[in-house]
Amino acid sequence: MTDPAALDAADPLAHFRDRFALPEGTIYLDGNSLGPLPKATRARMHAIVDDEWGDGLISSWNAAGWIDAPRRIGDKLARLVGARAGEVIACDSTSVNIFKALAAALDCNPDRSVILSEGGNFPTDLYMADGLARLSPRAKTRIVDYDDLEHAIDESVAVVLVTQVHYKTGRMRDLVDFTAKAHAAGALVVWDLSHSTGAVPVDLNGAKADFAVGCGYKYLNGGPGAPAFLFAAERHHAAVQPVLAGWFGHRAPFEFTDDYEAAAGIEKFLAGTPPMLGLAALESGVDLMLEADMAAIRAKSLSLSRLFMERMATLCERHGFELASPADDAQRGSQVSYRHEHAWPICQAMIARGVIGDFRAPDIFRCGFSPLYLSHAEVARAVEILSEVMESDAWHASEHQARRAVT
């Protein structure tokens, strides 16, 4: 059986643990939903609130570099997703950026009308596609099963909205292969990288990707509701006329003209005034991520998840857990999920014992592995605690409390 202590002793990322403010005694397996607080973010937030906002007031838009933050942070994010400077902008939410990216893709493929996506995708992806289709005079959505997606790209499909790492199962699509097949069929692709960025290597330009979006509050540790980002390949910039034509996306926003004229580059995807407190926290998380080697992050992520699955094998046999994630490293992101009919009360019982994982309806117990602060010893201990919960039937108490709350 794998020795967690030996793996931790050889871990090149172990020193990053001290860079996070994690509660004592907590094993945090939910960084794929909300990353923990980097210690540097506290100091950064004090500085922007007390010094830049408090003392600098409006002058900080220029003196403190606020006005350039979306592009500056976007250029940093570009290094994490295999893009060039000027192809990524930090702004808005993932949902809003999906809308903007889909509208842009329709601009770039004007002779086609269908937005294609997969059933079971994260809901906001499908909701945004449907909302755009209701507004557009030509767009319509088509939803197919996960395994049928690439085969459903026909001559009517303008753009495929696809998630690289599935939010429930952690199943990962091949970015290069899928993009190539979509392009061969005449379609563009909008990639949702929400469960990829900061967890798995991403090379958008290497894959000849068109558009992509991702969030800042998961593996990037940018804080709750942190601004997201949008990638647009430079070759598409000229063809895009933004539907959400906000003043910060204007060619010259401070000329205050009545007519909209889009900026020439990635800035055209901006809309309203940048949310500086959120962007400052996000930048701290991105700066920390950039200090680490992505190959080492991926290697440790796989090592953590393999250990977890190894230790979970006995619980699968004895207590009915069913692996919902791919066992193959190449097909799995940085999370492992199990199905169980009592997944919700089991998850609550684990949280009560200091192991914070996640539940996704109807029956998924999901655990994320963030290599910068999680150790192999913690992963092994988490499975020990889960075994104790199952052997003692402790999860029944959580189920009983839930039923009382409902009635």
Active site (annotated) includes residue 192: yes
Question: Which residue out of 217, 229, 338, 373 is catalytically annotated?
Answer: 217
Do 140 and 114 meet the contact criterion of CB atoms below 8 Å apart?
yes
Q: Are 402 and 348 in contact (CB under 8 A)?
A: yes
Phi and psi, residue 22, nearest 5°: -100, 140
User: What 8-state DSSP symbol labels residue 157?
Assistant: E
310 token code pair: 């190894």
Residue 122 appears among annotated catalytic residues: yes
Q: Shortest CA distance to 364 belongs to which of 24, 20, 30, 21?
A: 30
- Segment 6-13 long-range contacts (CB within 8 Å, at least 24 positions apart): 7/303, 7/307, 7/376, 8/375, 8/376, 8/377, 11/300, 11/375, 11/376, 12/293, 12/296, 13/292, 13/296, 13/297, 13/300, 13/371, 13/372
Identified catalytic residue from 39, 44, 79, 122:
122
Of 218, 268, 311, 332, catalytic: 218
Determine which one of 192, 269, 306, 321 is catalytic. 192
Catalytic residue of the set 168, 300, 306, 366: 366
Active site annotation includes 366: yes
Q: Is 218 a catalytic residue?
A: yes
The residue type of 120 is G
Give strand ranges (E) for 299-343: 322-323, 335-339
Active-site residue list: 122, 192, 217-218, 366
